[in-house]
Amino acid sequence: MDANRQKRLEARARILKAVGNASRLLILEELAQGEKCVADLTQAVGNDISTVSKHLSLLKSVGLVRDEKRGNQVFYTLLAPCVLNFFDCVESVLEARVQHQIEMIG
């Protein structure tokens, strides 16, 4: 396969991989409501704060979120709200799967 295509696909995969994790999806959903600090997100996710911090730094490294320090807190903001559109597609896949299972049974 073409090396350029490979590079392009890997760059895309890195971003999509960042979205393919339940904790990070939750973080993105929370950020969809507006900026949040790490402590707030930690509360929502339920993991150790250090774990959440690492998820955030991953999301930041691929460009999905931005961070801003104010006082001794760090606020994270969703940079690419378009990822929220993924959910509709994903839901349709889940729907279709349920439908398929019903057909198998019936």
Give the per-residue contact string, 75-104, with DNA (x = CB under 7 A; - = no).
------------------------------
User: Phi, psi (5° rounding) for residue 2?
Assistant: -55, 135
Residues 6+ apart with CB under 8 A from 52: 23, 27, 38, 41, 42, 45
d(CA 1, CA 4): 9
Region of 14-22, 31-39, 48-56, 68-76 interacting with a copy of itself (CB under 8 A)? 14-22
Binding site for a copy of itself (CB under 8 A): 1, 5-6, 9-23, 25-26, 44-46, 62-64, 79-80, 82-83, 85-94, 96-97, 100
